Each structure stands twice: as structure tokens, then as C-alpha cells.
Amino acid sequence: MLTLGNTSSLSSSTEIIMKLTPAASGTFTIAPTPFHDDGRIDEGSIDRLSDFYGEVGCSGVTVLGILGEAPKLDGEESLAVASRFIKRAGNRQVIVGVSAPGFAAMRSLARGAMDAGAAAVMIAPVPSLRTDDQITNYFRQAVEAIGADVPWVLQDYPLTLSVVMTPSVIKRIVSENPSCVMLKHEDWPGLEKITALRNFQKDGSLAPLSILTGNGGLFLDFEMERGADGAMTGYAFPDMLVDVVRLSKEGKRDAAHDLFDAHLPLMRYEQQQGVGLAVRKYVLKKRGLLSSDAQRKPSAGMTATARAEVDYLLSRVAKFDKRAAL
């Protein structure tokens, strides 16, 4: 087991061992960025979250994602948060979101995160991209900016980013940029896209590519059956996602679906645009993992009615899964 200490002293051999490859699988939970009530970064909660992710079997952690409130952090804070998670991660791989309006900021965070011991970075397209050529050119330029030695994850999230990438465009991006080793698949509907990509691999036209899925886990049950390698999302019970991925890989279809179905009403509630992060942080606080469910402003909180609804959903999930008995 590799334990990271002072990340500034990592050797080049250690960095190679820790780099993400197309063989990556399992559950890479999306970590929220913990804050104190006054908006300061909560390092103690970062440590508790990281330890918990390891205890429940997460293969890795993704930080500074869309729900990691990355745009509310300055560059120094972003690197500090990423480094804290990396230092605490032990043998788990950490992926750092580096998406930015400009390539200078992207390069700075990417190189800083990799120097700190990150396994890879994640890049999402800017919302202004429309044509296939614009999309592929953007990612070529992004790779030029961060360096072709940096493994990276392609985030495909058209519902939020408004950029539509067909399977053929994804194949083209991966073919032109061998350092792209993973797809974070968040298209909706997207099951047929997974099948199309796996069929490209069967006919030899697409290089090996890890596919982890997002969307709050809402379609994880069938995504695994279509050929996904695991999950990369931020539901408040990442331990449930770990179990569903494991059960699916073991061929225990009914058990995987039964567990998934028990959590689905709460997952659906958490997936609401605008309030989802507040719900997630509220539950993580109830689980003892966050000191505060605060978000940095601007933010949307939860009303007393919403909290009561979440508590009711937790009580219903707990009838099947005692982890929800909070």
C-alpha cells in the first residue's frame, strides 16, 4: 500500500504509479468542498471525508468538480483543497477538476495538482462550443496547455454544459489525444452512447478507455450492465454506489437493483438543479462527515420543509439500508 505523506517530496516513480490509466474502475466519488459557516475551507472535514471514502471502498476521489464549488475558489485555494485531499488519500487515486475559461488557469492548476500527486485531471468543454470541429480543436488546445504527459478525464455533461458530443466525436478526441484515459459519462439519455463506445472498442476503432458515469447515479444500475466501469458521482451515500458497482460486477443483478431501487427516491431528490448540493451537504452533515452544510455564497439553502422531506426519505431508505438511519 502506498501512503502519501508530504506531497512535495513525491518521487517521479511514485507519480508514475499513481497516474490514471484506461484500466481504472470502481467508484470515484465526487467530493464536495467543505466550508465553515463563515466560508473558510474546512480542512478537518476534508480529512473526515477522505478517510470515510477509503473505509467504504472507493477506488478514488474526484475534487473540484461542478458540485465542488470550484468557481468559488481562487487559484491558491483550489490547489490547497486538491493537495489536502491528495495527501490524505493514501493509496486511492485523486482526480482534480481543472476546467477553466482560459488555458492559463487550467495549466497552472493541472501542473500544480500533478506535482502534488494527483492521478489525473478532469476537463469539461466550455459551453460556447457547438460544432464537432470546435469541440475537438478545444481539447487539442487543452492538452497542449496542460502537457501531453498529464492523464485526463473527458467530462461529457450536455445537460449542464450544453455541449453535445456524439460517440464519434468522443472517439475522435480519444484518438487524437492518447493522454485521455477516461470518460466521465453524463449524457441523458445515455445508455445507447455507452453501448456505441463499447462497440467501437470491439471493432478496434477506439482505444482502451475507462468509462465512469455521473448524473447523481440515477442510471447506474443499467449503466453498469451496458459496460460502464463504475461510477463517478457525488451522491450522499457513496458506499451504496460502491456496493451497486460491486454487485453488478459480481453478476448479482437483482441484489444490485434492489439496493439501487431503495435509494432511488433520495437520489432523485438530491439531483434537483439548484438545490442538489444543499441536500447532499445536509445529509453528509447528518452522517457526521461535514462539520457544516454551508456553501460559499452565492448559494441556495434548504427550507425547513425541504429538510423534513429529506428526513422522511432517509427514514424510508433506512427500512432497506440501515446506513440511512440517521
For residue 133, the enclosing domain spans: 26-250
Mean of per-residue pLDDT scores for the chain: 94
Instruction: State residue 311's pLDDT score.
Output: 98
Phi then psi dihedrals of residue 63, to 5 deg:
-115, 155
In this prediction, residue 146 carries a pLDDT of: 98
Using alpha carbons, list the distances in angstroms from residue 279 to 45, 163, 294, 307: 17, 27, 11, 8
As a whole-number percent, the residues of the chain with pLDDT over 70 amount to: 95
List, for residues 55-85, the tens digit of each pLDDT value. 999 999 999 998 899 999 999 999 999 999 9
Q: How far is CA 305 from CA 205, 265, 297, 302, 309, in A?
A: 52, 17, 22, 8, 6
| Distances from the Cα of 132 to the Cα of 11, 122, 138, 172, angstroms | 39, 20, 10, 10
Cα–Cα dist 281/49, whole Å: 11
Compute the distance between CA of residue 33 and CA of residue 79 in angstroms, rounded to an integer.
12
pLDDT digits (tens, 9 = 90+) for 179-192: 999 999 999 999 99
Quick check: is 140 in a domain? yes
* Residue at 205 is within a domain: yes
pTM: 0.93
Grid cell of 235 as nine digits: 451522491
Domain count, the chain: 1
pLDDT score, position 15 = 43
Q: Is 186 inside a domain boundary?
A: yes
CATH number, position 191: 3.20.20.70
> What ranges in the chain are assigned the alpha helix state H?
12-18, 43-55, 75-88, 103-116, 132-146, 158-161, 167-176, 191-202, 220-226, 238-249, 253-270, 276-286, 304-317
pLDDT band at residue 1 under the 50/70/90 scheme: very low
- pLDDT value, residue 7: 35
Does 91 fall in a domain? yes
Residue 169 lies in a domain: yes
Residue 318 counted as domain residue: no
Q: What is the pLDDT of residue 179?
A: 98
3 pLDDT tier (thresholds 50, 70, 90)? very low
Would residue 92 count as lying in a domain?
yes
Give the pLDDT band of residue 17 (cuts 50, 70, 90).
very low
Asked if residue 310 is part of any domain, the answer here is no
Residues across the chain = 326
Whether 301 shows a pLDDT value over 60: the answer reads yes
